Amino acid sequence: MSTWPSISIVTPSYNQAHFLGATIESILSQDYPNLEYIVIDGGSTDGSVDILRTYGNRIRWVSEPDRGQTDAINKGLRQTSGEIVAYLNSDDVLEPGALHRVVRTFQDHPDARWLTGQCRIINEHGQPIRSFIRSYKSFWLKRYSRGKLFVTNFIAQPATFWRRSVHDEIGYFDESLRYVMDYDFWLRLSALGDPLIVPHPLAAFRIHAASKGESQYYKQFAEDAEVVSRYAQQRGQLALHRLHNQGIVFAYQLLK
């Protein structure tokens, strides 16, 4: 490829020293020639800063108190210069070759605003888990429509990339949201057009004991119902969304 489009990735982090190195390595090992990587650390006290220092000028980073994850994401995105952007949380990882696949897909579809792909689920040791959840979300993703997105968020955040120019049209992530800032952003982004669907794993989402959504999914579901109510275009969309969430809660209870 004669010209490699610039890609910027932001990692928000706070006291994630146990996983941070794996996240950073998964990005730097992509061997992508035009990469800008920024880590926004919220003032960690667990050794995260020592890990960041070991990478020298291979990454840009700052460690200072912030107003939480969404503030850190936005702070990083506003510093980016890449044509294509994304954020990757400090306990998730990119799959090998993901960035080259993303670039090829965007170059094959120059008018596309965003893309999303498959995403594995892994545990704290990096082992695949919950394949049924991945299969369920993949089922929805293969049949994408904006209407279905109102029913449930089947977009995998770690496997989603967009053109930085969309921020000029729809803004950044909503800092009033604690759990579903990504879902809110997808619903706004989907109004600009459908995403390209990459039928391959681009990232892996890690579930562990301290995962925010894992321990507080009731609060997450309440928040995402509020988000759907902001944008729902038909009366039945919010009702279907709430019904779907009730089914998910029931499934979680059975699994326990």
Cβ neighbours for 240, distance < 8 A, ≥ 6 positions apart = 150, 151
CA distance 24 to 38: 10
What pLDDT is stored for residue 175 in this prediction?
A: 98
**Burial of 202 (C-beta count, 10 Å sphere; 0-12/13-18/19+):** buried
* All structural domains of the chain with their residue ranges: 7-255
- What is the number of alpha carbons within 13 Å of residue 192 lying toward its C-beta? 20
Cα–Cα distances (Å) from 135 to 18, 26, 139, 218, in that order, read 28, 23, 6, 22
What pLDDT is stored for residue 240 in this prediction?
A: 92
Task: Say if domain 7-255 classifies as CATH 3.90.550.10.
Answer: yes
What pLDDT is stored for residue 168 in this prediction?
A: 98
Mean pLDDT of successive 10-residue stretches along the chain, which has 256 residues: 89 98 99 98 98 98 97 99 99 98 98 98 95 93 97 98 98 97 98 98 92 70 94 87 85 66
